[in-house]
Structure 1
Amino acid sequence: MPLDEMLVFARVVEHQSFAGAALQLGLTTSAVSRSVGRLEAHFGLRLLQRTTRSLSLTEAGAEIHQACLRLVEDAQAVQALAGQLRQQPRGLLKISAPAVLGDLWLSPLLPGFCARWPEVQVQVDMTDRMVDLVAEGLDLGLRISMPGQIAPGLVARPLKTIRYVLVSTPGYLARHEAIGAPEQLLAHPFISLGYGQFQNEVELRPQRAGHQPAAPATRLLVNTPITIASSLGIIQALQQGQGIGVVADFAAQAALQAGQLAPVLPGWALCGKY
């Protein structure tokens, strides 16, 4: 259906002239005249009686004009609705996030977000399994991942660089010989993250000072009697004196500051894909 031509026709009738319609629409008078001609050809009807001094609607033109007005009103309503949707988000926003990100980062932000956008309903799935965002109908996913691990077709934005650290409780460390070298880790039970490269493997490298060249890495296969796919879960288990764990730095920050956890081999940095 020639909607553009119908809009032009409605404006011609409104202004009772091609020139007036052309001025409002930002077209030339000849372009407006041709548009009305195309509409008449499309319907096979004469819509306007033209003289050198005036325009008047034919009987068919009057009926078509009423239909055009309704279409113009509907189009304007759609345009207004689109403008409102651009300015005021609304509807259901489905988010997936690992439990540690959801608990520490996402949950504290939600009340402020909903206060700012009251027409948006937020549904959060906190899970440490790898979720297929498309298959499960999710709008947004927070992920702890390495470059190149995002599925094709998804748009990704980096938010923060995360380091993983070796930690234990001060009490556990006090009961055992001081750990000064990576090889001493072999004598201790580990709690594994259960995903990424770290299943039962730890790779460490001495932290560099200034512009010193990178030292060779030390790779160890450690004893992992417990596997928990959550940094927060590992921290809770560690606080029961369960050994040593690898956790995300931001997840351990509060416990480290409170003295509930202590770093292990602070002069060494974990490397690899965790």
Structure 2
Amino acid sequence: MAPINDLNNLVFFAKVVDAGSYSAAAEALGMQTSKLSRRVSALEAELGVRLLNRTTRKLSLTEIGKTFYGHCVALIAEAQSAKDAVHQTLSSPQGLIRMSCPVGLLLGGLADILAKFLAAEPQVRIALDATNRRVDVVDEGIDIAIRVRVPPLEDSDLAMRAFGPSKMILVASPKLVLRHGMPAQLADLAKMPIVAMGYAGDKVTWRSQDKDGNSEELVHTPRLHTDDLLTLRAAALQGIGVAYMPALAVMEEMETGTLIRLLPQLSARSSIIHAVFPSRRGMIPAVRILLDFLAAELAEDSWHPLARESKET
């Protein structure tokens, strides 16, 4: 069965029934009585039934009109409920936020930040996809995708908000350093086994620079090559090799001493932690407030482990 041509005619019909006359309904709707009458007649013609009995003195519903009127009232109520739900969502942070985030960033503290946010906003729900793959924000219906990229960030039709840096550091287990000695320069790592992030390949290249801006480079064949930070961190903890990892992913290990930082005088180009989302227009309060919350919590001076390290020294 074909859908009704104009759902507004259902509202007009119900209004006539509620008002008891075309003239009273037309006045309430702010339209001409003749136009309102034509709209109801068009609805009856479309349905192929008479909904109203008309006399010069009053209107009354036919039997099928009573049934149809009940459905119209229910439909109008549902439409109003839908509108109220939108207004309620826009008035305060609530509802579902769909987001994705790299596993390493969650391990590095973002999971705790999201839990803190949920505790502060009890009406908000989060559906989190912990993944290292690059999600399609629009096609997959993602509200916020957290990414870590080396600048400059690529141009995109998506909206973006940058947070703090994600610095890469060299770490190793104390027992690995005990076996091979503490390296004094990047070239010393050529004598040590390494484990590395990335996809399968024979060699990896680590680039950094010293405090004077002199660039250094190390080409090495890793014992383990993986795109999984959990596996990489586990290998580093077991003393399999030196790891070049995001500092955020080894915060706890550095604090407990199960991993130690190597060659702190060297620095690598930092990646930028940022969020991408479909658009700034029409953003519900829950998404906007989460972005603000992340920006505050991911500020380098209050969260980043290397920022705290520099303050302590």
Give me the TM-score of the superposition, normalised by structure 1: 0.68
Q: Which amino acid aligns with 1:74?
A: L
Q: Please give the secondary structure, in 2, of the residue aligned with 1:148.
A: coil
Q: Please give the secondary structure, in 2, of the residue aligned with 1:270.
A: coil
Q: Please give the secondary structure, in 2, of the residue aligned with 1:9.
A: helix
Q: Please give the secondary structure, in 1, of the residue aligned with 2:222.
A: strand
What residue number does 1:75 align with?
76
What residue number does 1:179 align with?
183
1:12 aligned to which of 16, 20, 35 = 16
Q: Which amino acid aligns with 2:209?
A: R
**Cα RMSD for the two superposed structures:** 4.3
Alpha-carbon distance in 2 for matches of 1:170, 1:179:
12
Equivalent residues in 2 for 1:1-80, closer than 5 Å: 1=4, 2-18=6-22, 20-22=24-26, 24-25=28-29, 27-28=30-31, 30=32, 33-44=34-45, 47=52, 49=54, 56-57=58-59, 63-64=64-65, 66-80=67-81
Alpha-carbon distance in 1 for matches of 2:174, 2:268:
20
Structure 2 unaligned segments of length 5 or more: list them.
Answer: 273-313
What residue number does 1:237 align with?
235
Following TM superposition, by how much is the alpha carbon of 1:137 offset from its aligned partner in structure 2, in angstroms?
6.2
Alpha-carbon distance in 1 for matches of 2:28, 2:210:
73
Equivalent residues in 2 for 1:180-259, closer than 5 Å: 180-195=184-199, 200-207=204-211, 215-259=213-257
1:148 and 2:154 equivalent? yes
Q: Please give the secondary structure, in 2, of the residue aligned with 1:247.
A: strand
Following TM superposition, by how much is the alpha carbon of 1:263 offset from its aligned partner in structure 2, in angstroms?
1.8
Q: Which amino acid aligns with 1:180?
A: A
Contact 1:7 1:68 (8 Å CA) reproduced: no
Alpha-carbon distance in 2 for matches of 1:111, 1:82:
31
Aligned residues: 253
Contact 2:109 2:248 (8 Å CA) reproduced: no
Contact 1:166 1:265 (8 Å CA) reproduced: yes
User: Per-residue displacement from partner, 1:36-75 (whole Å, max 9, x unpaired)?
Assistant: 2133145346957475xx6x22676x74465144223223
Q: Please give the secondary structure, in 1, of the residue aligned with 2:227.
A: coil
Q: Please give the secondary structure, in 1, of the residue aligned with 2:257.
A: coil
Contact 2:195 2:244 (8 Å CA) reproduced: yes
Change in CA separation of 1:8 and 1:267 when aligned onto 2, cut-off 3 Å:
same
Alpha-carbon distance in 2 for matches of 1:272, 1:106:
18
Alpha-carbon distance in 2 for matches of 1:138, 1:4:
31
Contact 1:188 1:223 (8 Å CA) reproduced: no
Alpha-carbon distance in 1 for matches of 2:166, 2:126:
29
Q: Please give the secondary structure, in 1, of the residue aligned with 2:198.
A: coil
Greater relative contact order (Cα < 8 A, sep 6+): 2
Following TM superposition, by how much is the alpha carbon of 1:246 offset from its aligned partner in structure 2, in angstroms?
0.6
Alpha-carbon distance in 2 for matches of 1:99, 1:166:
19
Equivalent residues in 2 for 1:127-138, closer than 5 Å: 127-128=131-132, 130=133
Alpha-carbon distance in 2 for matches of 1:11, 1:171:
82
What residue number does 2:282 align with?
none
Structure 1 unaligned segments of length 5 or more: list them.
Answer: 209-214
Alpha-carbon distance in 1 for matches of 2:185, 2:73:
77
Q: Which amino acid aligns with 1:3?
A: L
Q: Please give the secondary structure, in 2, of the residue aligned with 1:245.
A: strand
Q: Please give the secondary structure, in 1, of the residue aligned with 2:80.
A: helix
Alpha-carbon distance in 1 for matches of 2:149, 2:200:
9
What residue number does 2:276 align with?
none
Q: Which amino acid aligns with 1:12?
A: V
Following TM superposition, by how much is the alpha carbon of 1:132 offset from its aligned partner in structure 2, in angstroms?
5.3
Following TM superposition, by how much is the alpha carbon of 1:160 offset from its aligned partner in structure 2, in angstroms?
4.5
2:122 aligned to which of 104, 116, 121 = 116
